Amino acid sequence: MKSLRHPWIDRLMATNAWVVYAFFYLPILVLVVFSFNASARVGIWGGVSPRWYGEVLGNAEVLDALKNSLIVSGISTIVSTIIGTAAALAIDRYRFRGRRGLDGMLYLPIIIPDVTMAVMMLLFFARVFDIVELVGPRWQLGVTTIVISHVAFNIAFVAVVVRARLGQIDKSLEEAARDLYAGAWQTFRRVTLPLIMPGVLGGALLALTLSLDDVVVTSFVAGPGSTTLPIYVFGLIRRGVSPQINAISSLMLIASIALVGLSLLLQRNPQDAILPDERLKET
Amino acid sequence: MRKPAFEPGLEKAAEAAERRRGFLLGLPAYVYLVVFFAVPFFIVFVTSFARRSATGATKYDEFSTSAYVKLLDPLVGTIVWRSFWIATITTAVCLLFAYPFAYYIATRRPAVRNALLVLVMIPFWSNFLVRTYAWRFILGSDGPLGTLTEAMGREPFRLLFTPAAILIGLVYGFLPFMVLPLYAAIERLDWRLVEAARDLYADGWTAFRKVTLPLTRSGIIAGSLLVFVPSFGAYVTPAILGGGKDLLLGSYIVTQFGQARNRPLGSALSIVIMAVMLVALMIRNRSGAEEI
């Protein structure tokens, strides 16, 4: 294959690849390095110090926002992983009425822009609350509405990852179990589930990451007292750059990279997973 | 006596049971997405035809197309047009860098390929807000670049809060969305076809243009869709890197739900984004159908 290309084209492509990787990683690296800058003037290097990290981790507002973030992402991950895995199994393994509709609805939350999804959720809750108020109780935006919205977009991401995994496993293993008189539940519990477990965990970690990172949808459906970490940080960023933001951002970035890395590790075959576009191929 | 090998009644019952099981497994997701995705979409649609009272409250008592009439307003037109252009340029720049990049990865040895791919995935899914903030920090006048140019006695560094900064941020945020579908398409490519073209005396460029490019078209279209749609409705990137001077669609919609208190207009603009998204999807599906 190499003979098909001029050597200089090869060299140009290699250079381009290095440039793109540098573009991906240098800004992140610069940010993390400067988060250890002792100087209060962010652009001037004043020696290494964990000072800003100490300040950030001692900040009650940050810890409060972190707590909200963990509650929201924990619940939404568990719920969306269960629903999303079931949906992936249904679409991949069964033929039933409404299958195509479900398939289509599982694609839209992935490509829809954040702002549109945010508008949808806000107006929905506003309408529902108006109607509920006619009967009595006054509902308000808060942690619950954030969780509901996060589950709405996370189901689709979990389903994509699990389906990619289902596509990789050998169906004859399940057939063999059935032939040996295992019931449907037993087959699922003893054969299918262990086989798709990496996909389920990978999907769950992806859902966790997306939920921990979301700004736009959350800011639309958050109420007083339910500020999550990204919303808090977004508010700070809009006021300008500061060494404290550098420290929080670095922590968030490292946590998020660790989760994504773990998720990819579990899925083993990265090109088959988390590629939303893959799903359209078969339809 | 031998049992009949084939019992149509039993077979049918088993099939029905399977179908029921599939339906029950899919039901939670179906119900959830209808209630918390399809119904919200419908409410946005209805709200776009609602009336805005003098105080800014949204009234559903009469059918009004005033939000859509407002779309023809030159101010709104400028904002939509500007967002369209920024999204187009972002898509073009991403394509320009991502194609040779994806090609390079797809032509490495499998082990190297997977490692290179993971290095694309990591920024793809890691915190978008913080990655955008990194550029705010780097491009800012008191950031490392600004301080450096100042120390060298040059003109102060001015890039933050310009359309160029937004462009950098969008390319940075969405480039992986272009790389992955392109990679998938190039990796699937049957190289024997390219070799055949070369055997028939096509030069490298002709073989690329006539064979490789058409065969990877589905990747180009899918990647462009995944970059264009979110760039068109982007909110976080312009909010952080744009400084709010040149308004874009995403920020304008958010304003309608905040200070401007005009939910019908904000809904109508969301419908515009979804219409663009559906057109892009249709283009994508049609191209997929042509692919053999």
Instruction: For residues B15 and B291, give the distance between their C-alpha atoms in angstroms, rounded to a whole number.
Output: 33
Q: Is residue A262 part of a domain?
A: yes
Is the CB of B121 inside 8 Å of chain A's CB atoms? yes
- Residues facing A48 on adjacent strands: A37
> Which tokens sit at B163?
């359309």
Q: How far is CA B147 from CA A51, A228, B150, B165, B247, in A?
A: 22, 33, 5, 18, 29
Query: Chain A 117-156, CB below 8 Å of chain B: which residues?
Result: 118-124, 127, 148-149, 151-152, 155
Q: Cβ A43–B288 below 8 Å, yes or no? A: no
Is the CB of A111 inside 8 Å of chain B's CB atoms? yes
pLDDT of residue A1: 45
Chain B residue with minimal CA distance to A242?
B137
pLDDT of residue B162: 87
CATH code for the domain in which residue A84 is found: 1.10.3720.10
Q: Is residue A51 part of a domain?
A: no
Q: Is residue A134 part of a domain?
A: yes
Q: What is the pLDDT of residues B129-187, one digit of tens each?
A: 999 999 999 988 778 887 777 777 777 667 788 889 999 999 999 999 899 889 988 98
Is the CB of B246 inside 8 Å of chain A's CB atoms? no
pLDDT band, residue B289 (cuts 50/70/90): very low
Q: Cβ A280–B288 below 8 Å, yes or no? A: yes
Q: What is the pLDDT of residues B218-264, one digit of tens each?
A: 889 989 988 999 999 999 999 999 876 668 999 999 999 988 889 99
What residues have CB less than 8 Å from A248, skipping those under 6 apart? A56, A62, A229, A233, A236
pLDDT of residue B56: 81
Instruction: For residues A135 and A155, give the distance between their C-alpha atoms in angstroms, rounded to a whole number.
Output: 31
Task: Report, as an integer, the average pLDDT of B193-217.
Answer: 84
Instruction: For residues B169 and B136, give the distance between their C-alpha atoms in angstroms, rounded to a whole number.
Output: 9
**Closest residue to A42, CB basis, from B120, B143, B198:** B143
Q: Report whether B79 contacts B254 (CB < 8 A).
A: no
Q: Is residue A247 part of a domain?
A: yes
pLDDT of residue B156: 67
**Closest residue to A31, CB basis, from B137, B146, B257:** B137
Q: Cβ B236–A98 below 8 Å, yes or no? A: no
Å between A81 CA and nearest CA of chain B: 11
Å between A147 CA and nearest CA of chain B: 11
Q: Is residue A7 part of a domain?
A: no
pLDDT of residue A269: 55
Domain with A138, as residue range(s), is 61-280
pLDDT above 60 for B31: yes
Q: Is residue A33 part of a domain?
A: no
Q: What is the pLDDT of residues B47-99, one digit of tens each?
A: 999 988 888 888 888 888 888 998 899 999 999 999 999 999 999 999 999 99
Q: Cβ A113–B229 below 8 Å, yes or no? A: yes
Q: Cβ A105–B30 below 8 Å, yes or no? A: yes
Q: Is residue A87 part of a domain?
A: yes
Q: Among residues B253, B209, B265, which one has the least CA distance to residue B83? A: B253
Q: Taking the CB of residue B242, how many other CB atoms lie within 10 A of it?
A: 22
Q: Report whether A223 contacts A148 (CB < 8 A).
A: no
Instruction: For residues A130 and A132, give the distance between their C-alpha atoms in angstroms, rounded to a whole number.
Output: 6
pLDDT of residue A5: 64
Q: Report whether B281 contacts A279 (CB < 8 A).
A: no
Contacts by A24-30 with C-beta closer than 8 Å and gap 24+?
A24/B119, A24/B120, A24/B123, A24/B172, A24/B175, A24/B176, A25/B123, A27/B131, A27/B134, A27/B135, A27/B138, A27/B172, A28/A253, A28/B123, A28/B131, A28/B134, A30/B134, A30/B137, A30/B138, A30/B144
A30-58 residues labelled b (16+ CB within 10 A) or e (exposed): bbbebbbbeeeebbeeeeeeebbbeebee
pLDDT above 50 for B291: no
Query: Chain A 219-258, CB below 8 Å of chain B: which residues?
Result: 220, 230, 233-234, 237-238, 241, 245-246, 249-250, 252-253, 256-257
Query: Chain A 177-206, CB below 8 Å of chain B: which residues?
Result: 184, 206
Q: Cβ B101–A101 below 8 Å, yes or no? A: no
Q: Which residues of chain B neighbour A113 with C-beta distances below 8 Å?
A: 229-230, 232-235, 250, 273, 277
Q: Which domains does chain B have, with CATH numbers?
A: 73-290 (1.10.3720.10)
Is the CB of B230 inside 8 Å of chain A's CB atoms? yes
Q: What is the pLDDT of residues A196-237, one digit of tens each?
A: 998 899 899 889 989 998 999 999 999 888 999 999 999 999
Å between A125 CA and nearest CA of chain B: 8
pLDDT above 80 for B216: yes
Residue with tokens 């047009």: B81
Domain count, chain A: 1
Instruction: For residues A40 and A45, give the distance between their C-alpha atoms in angstroms, rounded to a whole number.
Output: 9
Q: How far is CA A259 from CA A31, A114, A255, in A?
A: 19, 21, 6
Residues in chain B: 292
Q: Is residue A9 part of a domain?
A: no
Query: Chain B 151-170, CB below 8 Å of chain A: which residues?
Result: none
Å between B30 CA and nearest CA of chain A: 6
Q: Which residues of chain B neighbour A271 with C-beta distances below 8 Å?
A: 114, 117, 183-184, 187
Q: Among residues B129, B228, B222, B232, which one has the least CA distance to residue B180? A: B222
* pLDDT values of chain A reduced to their tens digit, one per residue, 283 residues: 444 567 888 889 999 999 999 999 999 999 999 999 888 888 788 888 888 999 889 999 999 999 999 999 999 999 999 999 999 999 988 888 888 889 888 888 888 889 999 999 999 999 999 999 998 888 889 999 999 999 999 999 999 989 988 888 888 888 888 888 888 888 888 888 888 998 899 899 889 989 998 999 999 999 888 999 999 999 999 888 889 999 999 999 998 888 888 888 877 654 444 444 444 443 3
